[in-house]
Amino acid sequence: MPYTLIFFIMFIFIKNSHYNHMEFEADLIRFFQLNMSPAWVIVFRVISMFGSLMGFAITFFIVFLKKRSLAYALFVSYFVFQLLNRVLKHLIARNRPFVDYQDIVNYDNEDGFSFPSGHSLSAGIFASYIVYVIIKSNSQSLNKALSIVLVSIISFSVLVSRMALGAHYLTDTIVGLILGILFAIISILVYNIIMKKLFFKRDYIGENNGRNIVGGD
């Protein structure tokens, strides 16, 4: 409920404010693009892919190796939340940076609306699921910490790449990441609730069957 209220307030603010972004957000994109070489454009395009279907495939594979049922939960939640993200984009209808400013280059050939960033939202979902798997693993604490730091760096790199490529403002990426994390937490909580009920039902049926067999003897 609190998350819904926060998002509702944020939606009203963005939709009805006299500006759809802050000027420093455009300056931040200009800073990246003015200091980017062609090689960095390629690097940022590759990093950006970690927030796309490629990132989904990698995350699904990692989660699948650890827990198949959780991987299926990731599959469902990812596509459901991507659909929700598209709805939000059209409801809020914020222009992309290269539409508002002619000097900002659209390096990733994007179109459509800007808020929230779908790649950043995906990065939040992927990172949350991987971190959950890491925490639940039997690895040493140091290895867990290092793995979580690495996942966090990759996630934040996706945010930077979306700005550097001229596809999103800073607020697009931050809100996208936050939403992705919240969506992942919700889906993992729902997954755990469902799994507990299934295990409880299975144990209950197993106990009853056992009693019937004993009674039959």
Task: Write out the catalytic residue numbers.
Answer: 119, 168
Extended beta strands in 23-100, E state:
none
Strand positions, DSSP E, 47-150:
none
208 phi and psi angles, rounded to 5 deg: -65, -40
Pairwise CA distance, residues 43 & 166, whole Å: 14
Location of structure tokens 């690895």: 139
Count of other CB atoms within 10 angstroms of residue 155: 25
DSSP, res 49: G
Which of 155, 153, 154, 173 lies closest to 163 in space, CA to CA?
Answer: 173
**Which strand (E) or helix (H) includes residue 204?**
helix 170-216
Q: Enter the DSSP assignment of 95.
A: P
What is the residue type of 196?
K
Local structure of 38: helix, strand or coil: helix
